[in-house]
C-alpha cells in the first residue's frame, strides 16, 4: 500500500511539474491537486497484489526492442524495393492472455511493431492487419504473447 501511494504520488507530482512548466510558484495548488488525484486514484483503482515480474519486464523490453528494430528494417526493405508488390492481409490469431492489462499491452505492443496493427479483439481471437502476408506475423504475435504472459506471471 505504501509503495502504491508513493509511486502514484510521484507520478502525479511529475504530471503537475510538467503542467506547471517547472515553475515553483504553482506548487501550493499543485499539492492540493496531487493529493486529490491520489485519493481519487486509490478509490477508483484500489491497490492490489501484482504478479508482475521484474525479470519478465527485462525480457519483454529486450525482445520488444530487438523485434521492433528487425521489423523496422524489414519494412524499410519492403518499401525501398522497386517493383515489389505488397500483399496486405487480415489475420485471425488465437489469444490466450487473460483480459485486462496483459491483453491491452499485447494490442498496443503489436501496434508498435512495424507492419502490424490490431484491428479487433473478441473473447479469444485477435484480428490483425499486416502490411504483407509474407511477414511472419503469427509467429511474432505468439512470441510477443509468451513474453507478455511471462511478464504478468500468467501461464503462456
Residue 31: the pLDDT is 92
For residue range 55-92, what is the model confidence (pLDDT) as tens digits?
Answer: 777 888 888 888 778 777 877 877 787 677 778 889 89
Q: Which residues of the chain have pLDDT under 70?
A: 48-53, 82, 154-156
Residue 79: the pLDDT is 73
Distance (Å, whole) CA 30 – CA 95: 43
Query: Which neighbouring-strand residues pair with 107?
Result: none
Residue 33: the pLDDT is 92
Apex CA 149: angle with CA 40 and CA 146, to 5°? 145
Residue 23: the pLDDT is 83
Cα atoms found within 13 Å of the Cα of residue 99, Cβ hemisphere only: 4
Residue 60: the pLDDT is 80
Residue 151: the pLDDT is 83
Q: pTM surpassing 0.75? A: no
Phi/psi at 120 (nearest 5 deg)? -155, 150
Amino acid at each position: 500500500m505504501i509503495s502504491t501511494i508513493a509511486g502514484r504520488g510521484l507520478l502525479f507530482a511529475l504530471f503537475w511539474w510538467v503542467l506547471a512548466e517547472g515553475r515553483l510558484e504553482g506548487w501550493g495548488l499543485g499539492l492540493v491537486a496531487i493529493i486529490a488525484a491520489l485519493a481519487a486514484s486509490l478509490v477508483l483503482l484500489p491497490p492490489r497484489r501484482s504478479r508482475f515480474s521484474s525479470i519478465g519486464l527485462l525480457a519483454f523490453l529486450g525482445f520488444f526492442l530487438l523485434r521492433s528494430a528487425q521489423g523496422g528494417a524489414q519494412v524499410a526493405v519492403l518499401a525501398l524495393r522497386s517493383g515489389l508488390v505488397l500483399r496486405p492481409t487480415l489475420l485471425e490469431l488465437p489469444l490466450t492472455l487473460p483480459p485486462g492489462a496483459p491483453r491491452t499491452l499485447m494490442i498496443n505492443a503489436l501496434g508498435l511493431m512495424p507492419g502490424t496493427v490490431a484491428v479487433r479483439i473478441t473473447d479469444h481471437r485477435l484480428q490483425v492487419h499486416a502490411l504483407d502476408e509474407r511477414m511472419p506475423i503469427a509467429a511474432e504475435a505468439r512470441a510477443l504473447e509468451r513474453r507478455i504472459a511471462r511478464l504478468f506471471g500468467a501461464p503462456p
